[in-house]
Structure 1
């Protein structure tokens, strides 16, 4: 009677311990040991917890085998008789998972049991149509999700007309798996309409049967002495004798015919099976010296007192103390034991990967006591033998059926399991009764859903990793020239000067898929996905492994993350934490604020010339990298878009800080002209793109290299024209060095250091050119400056031309220095406004321009000194505080008063006012002038003319506040970079010269007041001080900077000179030269204080219109309308405009 044992919760027993493709030296038999069966029943289902076989139309099975050169794997089909050892069988078993993709379609992913290799091919390697297989088309790796079965459920799982295919090119083309004449699988591709002509291999899925394990299958450990050692989980791991080391052996009654065979006396004598059976094996204990001890495990009899019963019989597994296998003609395996007590059979369920262990005989306690030859403590011992001829007491009158009826509980079916007994002192494996019908429940799957754990399995902590081939040092990832987005091994020169911590295409998201227990976490399968490319161009899932079981390789080290991945031994190298959490990783990211005002240079990388920049040819608009002059490009970014792997709930839970990656596409222009790709594949800049021919380029800036520059690592970026599916490249054999649009598969990639063009845009008065000395504690302190026009050397001053003056207004004017009266100063106080306080003040400092500065001095409080009870009028009560007494005069804070230069843009002219009487405009242009301002506690009060008759010393803040004048709270206002009517910025006309300025002329600027394109920094359209028919105004806000900076829009370009307190400009309405004044009137000029002096008046052509001696203190001299120059004897000439 065959006694069946239960599953032993075995973990690391076989498949992963047996070297893949190991041979036992035998010749394949004509009778197949490997068997399969088709699915049956409507409730059939593919389970991820099981393994299956793939059967093709030739009744051969598909598995993984070494290639002919032994260096790589191939997918190959073999017939069942060729699968003659367990290692070979394992390489032909598959774990099958399903993925539901867009549209609800089911795709299948297959992982080989023995090697972990994913069933995958690269469509780039596929042959076309019916072409013969090539070595490349047989290469493993690439697309890993296949159209195959209709579903993982139902009755058609074993249908034989199903093929492995993948659609691509928007569904117009198809790739299919075929079989070459040598049995190796390969791929072919064609247009979808020709799919039937591909003759794709038809493959069905079948259920593998069981495998009775041989000594070779079991003895997978050790070097010189091979042995078996089982690993157990949970309660079964305690005091389990099977956890020891044994060499598994077959027995024979002749000389040793092969490895792992021992001889034994075949004499029957009621003790040993007559014919040794190779399926039933003995377990020879490995001693402390690492050698076989010839002590054997066997089923024995023992009695232990157990709770709930007085006595119970157990069958412990022990090791024989007798080292002699035979003694003459007598079987001496063990005293009082039949030989079959030493023999066990191991049967593996290939589909569930579980193991059943059986003993050839088992001990049972009889219900009816007797007195046979052998008993212990009054209890009869009886053995159930595997064969009737070997049963004990075969000469008695008992029959097999009589014996069976006397077995306790009337069952012939007992189960092997482990228990800890009260007072137990030895290792015991026990037969229990009443477990009939539960054998299937005791089968244990050794993979994701098993209690058992293989000691060849491994896992790694969740994280983001780089994957490097241990042997070749290549990295696994998607290179920039890989158009199908499928990962491959890349090494040698292709990865020189790359920083993979910055490149998501070479990073892999890994997390554990089985967290059911601490034991399972240690060997959990892992989800692995490329961080950038999880879809190809057709939306097919690529570079994703849903539940991959890692295995230990020959270089396994517990301290390192080295294991077998997809058939290759690799090291998982953690990516830096900063890269894991950086959502902008992989692509250059600019903020809108950075792009708003900055220009950028593209520094081309070349090993022998690092001073080459992207720019245009002098004779055309084609971009090239020959020039050492850097083009200043403007970049405009599109909205951020997610890309790459989307972190799952499990990934986010297990990987700290894992970011969803985002990137931006950018359009690039040079001097207002956008980059296009023309019909010749050249990148050009133009405003006049050919419709339907030239394509506007929108680039991703993808990091591709890292080089050292000036001792620092610098990232270089490829320009990926994402809307054209090309990249920028430079031909190596072309002396023109043109920037061309290349297909992505071109391995040579042009890369650039995209540098911020840090040219100064605005002048900041804190350098040596403004009198600042090295070490100055406050280089940004207010300065006294003169502004002189660059070309005719006119100076800013008060407007004195009567033609441009208006009653009650003080305008800004301009005149030549030698035409200005000696008491009409040219200096202005220029005071910083936003420096260090607004976000962009370092780029666009704003200033106040001030004249006529004065101050109402502060006054200390005059405290009541009367010796009386003080009275607080506000509170209406007496007080002891003299400061609150009504006799006390409160302190008064100082009030600063000055004339502030402002734009009158926010003022409005009344309708119907005559043109020559308008206060705030000259024609259509806004005028610029001075307004009366008081300042206290960082608040400016715009007084206008409301306090014109009030002397500064008489100003009181309460009077000002009572007038409800306009106020500006500078504490908050200085935080804004917006243009203002009362602040001024000084825009360089040539930033490149300004950057390396050697003289004041290099720092020429426009005086900027406003913008016309909503740009706070460096507007292309704006309002600058200009000369309109000798009247100072602001250009209209549609004026272009490109015109203004050349003076083409009458905008005035200035430089500075240092000013002085003795030369401050005022708001005088007359031009004075010492005690002599000259003013223009209708039809002439009035000269005062020049009695006895000669006055000469000339026009703008230098012609003399008057030459006379003044005979009185005030004289009117006739002169033509227009600009005239008045020269008083002994004084500098002045300019006047006669009406």
Structure 2
């Protein structure tokens, strides 16, 4: 905890009337909304990255869009109790930034917002305490800063605790009224619930999972969702790096509900999931289509299949023995075709059923509800969870994305590209500015040492102390020049490259990989080096 904040809080309690706030009711690790009436305190992304604003709560909570919900979601990253007061820190889900503000830009309360600057995350005031229905941060004596509103814009205001009641501070209180039945599309899944800027493969986690040695086609490999045109809220799931043979040719593999039983008998209830080419012969098309419902309150997923064929029935006049013989001889006793032109049979199907973690002879297997295990006609999230018998979460275990950061400092930046990358010609080049301040990529020439050239050096400012914090990058010599042509020009999230010290970021839809090479501290402090910008 910030010792200065604690001392200021203690002083304020001695100097003014004590009034313990109850604006926040949450423990460390909780995800909450910070509500101001029907609005929610939100952090923006994109060109207004980190800017604070208010977003309205939809009448139907399930009408939230994930991007908006992520921006309005805050995690209690720290909670301490000092002198009977709860002190909180918050981290925004969309940006990864701490709810921290800069007291130096706060304007006096008596100015009523005139001359205020737009409020963007970043600063030294990062611990918050409730004073009635206000959230404030102490910064000197009994003076506090807080989020205020003038018209439709938020800004930072300051006053003393005693005058807080006459300020423009917005009311803020915690709430957990998250949507419980949000239908996800392919983009939501492939961007990890809209948490990364470009589509990638995603992974699923289940608890409990299948038993050792049993396949789980929904968690065994990365998946890519594709919306099914005209089907409404259904997606297909392509398995990464998996192929199946069709007429001797490799085709992409998709997850499909099979007509194979786990125990290989015609009386089993437990269908398997498998891989096959999309719309393969003798497949029920709906068995390729999956629907994902997101419970944001619990951060859980519920998965349905559009249609499954789960049973063949006897033809009229056919004996049990003859039917069993047919199953064994024509369908390998476990797998059966849904189409049999020579000997057509009545087919039992189910629609819109949930996945189900079943127990089979003491073993966990993933199957699909088709009978009494399903709660027919029930769509409430609790029922969904009970039906599935497993908790499903979306994770980054197959996305290839591991959030990371770059420590504060001065660096050379080298581009990395491998075969197949359209920017392969940039491989090994360094980012730098020429004498005119134009930015580009260049090779290290003979008798040239970039560590002695501020124009080839980049100043990294890390936003906060998190090991995954975003950073801003400026040229050491020309900090007023936009970096767009070579490096990100705004606060950016970096990701780790597995098995390497390199990092990458999303430059539009392309992942650019970079090496950050630290400049020796002695050279950073060398006053003989030209340094036009004054950045270092």
- TM value normalised by structure 2: 0.55
What secondary structure does 1:241 align onto? Answer: coil
Contact 1:179-1:185 at 8 Å conserved across structures = yes
| Equivalent of 2:188 in 217, 225, 242 | 217
Specify which structure has the bigger relative contact order, considering alpha-carbon pairs within 8 angstroms and separated by 6 or more residues.
2
Q: Judging changes above 3 Å, is the alpha-carbon distance between structure 1 residues 383 and 130 closer, same or farther for their aligned structure 2 residues?
A: farther
Q: Judging changes above 3 Å, is the alpha-carbon distance between structure 1 residues 469 and 340 closer, same or farther for their aligned structure 2 residues?
A: farther
Matched, 1:96 2:76: yes
Q: How does 1:200-599 map to 2 (within 5 A)?
A: 200-207=169-176, 208-210=178-180, 211-220=182-191, 228-230=201-203, 232=205, 239-242=215-218, 243-252=221-230, 276=231, 278-283=232-237, 297-305=255-263, 312-321=268-277, 323=279, 335=282, 337=284, 339-362=285-308, 370-371=314-315, 376-377=327-328, 382-386=348-352, 415-416=356-357, 429-431=366-368, 438=386, 442-443=390-391, 455-459=400-404, 465-466=407-408, 553=493, 557-558=497-498, 559-560=500-501, 562=503
For residue 98 of structure 1, report the CA deviation from its aligned partner.
3.5
Equivalent residues, number: 390
What secondary structure does 2:408 align onto? Answer: strand
CA-based RMSD = 5.8
Instruction: State the match for 1:619 in structure 2.
Output: none
For residue 557 of structure 1, report the CA deviation from its aligned partner.
4.0
For residue 115 of structure 1, report the CA deviation from its aligned partner.
1.3
d(CA) in 1 for partners of 2:494, 2:366? 34
Instruction: State the match for 2:40 in structure 1.
Output: 61
d(CA) in 1 for partners of 2:88, 2:58? 28
d(CA) in 2 for partners of 1:245, 1:420? 29
Q: Judging changes above 3 Å, is the alpha-carbon distance between structure 1 residues 571 and 509 closer, same or farther for their aligned structure 2 residues?
A: farther
Instruction: State the match for 2:104 in structure 1.
Output: 124
d(CA) in 2 for partners of 1:511, 1:54? 22
Task: List runs of 5+ in structure 1 lacking aligned partners.
Answer: 1-43, 151-160, 253-275, 324-332, 387-411, 423-427, 474-495, 497-505, 513-524, 527-550, 580-702, 710-746, 748-1139
For residue 106 of structure 1, report the CA deviation from its aligned partner.
1.4
Bigger radius of gyration? 1
For residue 85 of structure 1, report the CA deviation from its aligned partner.
3.4
d(CA) in 2 for partners of 1:304, 1:413? 18
For residue 469 of structure 1, report the CA deviation from its aligned partner.
9.4
Instruction: State the match for 2:147 in structure 1.
Output: 177
d(CA) in 2 for partners of 1:361, 1:49? 39
What secondary structure does 2:68 align onto? Answer: helix
d(CA) in 2 for partners of 1:185, 1:201? 9
- TM value normalised by structure 1: 0.28
Q: How does 1:771-920 map to 2 (within 5 A)?
A: none
For residue 441 of structure 1, report the CA deviation from its aligned partner.
7.5
Q: Judging changes above 3 Å, is the alpha-carbon distance between structure 1 residues 312 and 72 closer, same or farther for their aligned structure 2 residues?
A: closer
Task: List runs of 5+ in structure 2 lacking aligned partners.
Answer: 1-23, 193-197, 244-249, 335-345, 375-382, 414-430, 432-453, 455-460, 470-490, 506-512, 529-533
d(CA) in 2 for partners of 1:468, 1:562? 16
Provide Cα deviations, 1:772-800, integer angstroms capped at 9, x if missing partner. xxxxxxxxxxxxxxxxxxxxxxxxxxxxx
Contact 2:36-2:173 at 8 Å conserved across structures = yes
What secondary structure does 1:73 align onto? Answer: coil
d(CA) in 2 for partners of 1:557, 1:365? 47
Contact 2:255-2:276 at 8 Å conserved across structures = yes
For residue 107 of structure 1, report the CA deviation from its aligned partner.
1.4
d(CA) in 1 for partners of 2:226, 2:80? 46
Q: Judging changes above 3 Å, is the alpha-carbon distance between structure 1 residues 163 and 415 closer, same or farther for their aligned structure 2 residues?
A: same
Instruction: State the match for 1:834 in structure 2.
Output: none
What secondary structure does 1:316 align onto? Answer: strand
Contact 1:213-1:279 at 8 Å conserved across structures = yes
Q: Judging changes above 3 Å, is the alpha-carbon distance between structure 1 residues 54 and 507 closer, same or farther for their aligned structure 2 residues?
A: closer
For residue 62 of structure 1, report the CA deviation from its aligned partner.
2.0
Provide Cα deviations, 1:626-673, integer angstroms capped at 9, x if missing partner. xxxxxxxxxxxxxxxxxxxxxxxxxxxxxxxxxxxxxxxxxxxxxxxx
Q: Judging changes above 3 Å, is the alpha-carbon distance between structure 1 residues 708 and 79 closer, same or farther for their aligned structure 2 residues?
A: closer
What secondary structure does 2:164 align onto? Answer: helix
Q: Judging changes above 3 Å, is the alpha-carbon distance between structure 1 residues 127 and 350 closer, same or farther for their aligned structure 2 residues?
A: same
For residue 563 of structure 1, report the CA deviation from its aligned partner.
7.4
Instruction: State the match for 1:79 in structure 2.
Output: 56
Provide Cα deviations, 1:734-788, integer angstroms capped at 9, x if missing partner. xxxxxxxxxxxxx9xxxxxxxxxxxxxxxxxxxxxxxxxxxxxxxxxxxxxxxxx
